Amino acid sequence: MPLYQVVILAIVQGLTEFLPISSTAHLHLTTWLLGWQAESLSFDVMLHVGTLVALVGYFIRDWIQIIGQGFGVHAGHDEQLKQNRGLLWLLVIGTIPIGIAGLLFKEQAEGAWRTPWVMGVMLIVVGVLMWIAENLGRCRRDLSTLYLPDALVIGIAQALAVVPGTSRSGITISAGLFRNLEREAAARFSFLLATPAIAAAAVGAFRELHKAHELHTLMSATFAVGVAVSAITGWIVIAWFLQYLRRATFRPFVYYRIAFGILVLILAWLKG
């Protein structure tokens, strides 16, 4: 894949992975509309690693405090995390559903479901779900009040993200709003919950690349540039989005998803 395509797709990944608009749909539809070659295994590894670097880099202090407190060590000064010392184990429990869904539906998610029709429908359906969550959620709880039922509901919601076009952040933040979490708290837990899932996906992609005897493709400037661009873009988007949710609502993303979903369906129909 030419370097300019890698840079463009890495930017698309960084912009859309953490916003509730579906990175899978945007990446697939970008290559589909521009007629570019379908993503390779090394490309999947690049995007997973870039996304993981952005998440770990931004939330490293949170993770140090969460892991330390999970094992009885007092680490960090975040008051919300300090009041919820079992958050590490809630994240572990919340990760189980996506692990099961990945094992059961990996082939469908990467094959039969990865079509403009599925993505267009899911963009609209989840957009409507986000609108309902935005209107019904009371936004009165922070991470200090997040307990087992919340982790289970949000974890099950994350499992639905195996369907292309869903958006991991969109569906999990919506679940958090349904549980009356504040928007920023719902997004923060969503990103923390995504970290082990994306790390597992990266490891899986590395293993597939190893089986295909293609690990050498990672030792290139193109791969390094792709990781760096997606990581830097993703870090900026995380910071902006969390700040945005402190003062604004989901609605612009709802309108975007529905409009984009309709456009995708129209294009799919026109292309036959």
Q: State the number of CA atoms in the 13 A half-sphere of 223 facing the CB.
A: 16
Model pTM score: 0.94
Report d(CA 142, CA 81) in Å as an integer. 10
Using a CB cutoff of 8 Å and minimum separation of 24, what contacts does 132-137 make?
133/173, 133/174, 133/175, 133/177, 133/178, 133/250, 134/177, 134/249, 134/250, 134/251, 134/254, 136/177, 136/178, 137/176, 137/177, 137/178, 137/179, 137/180, 137/181
Mind listing the pLDDT tens digit for each residue in 188-227?
999 999 999 999 988 888 888 778 777 777 778 888 999 9
Domain range list for the chain: 3-33+42-270
Mind listing the pLDDT tens digit for each residue in 128-154?
999 999 999 988 999 999 999 999 999
Three-class SS of residue 52? helix
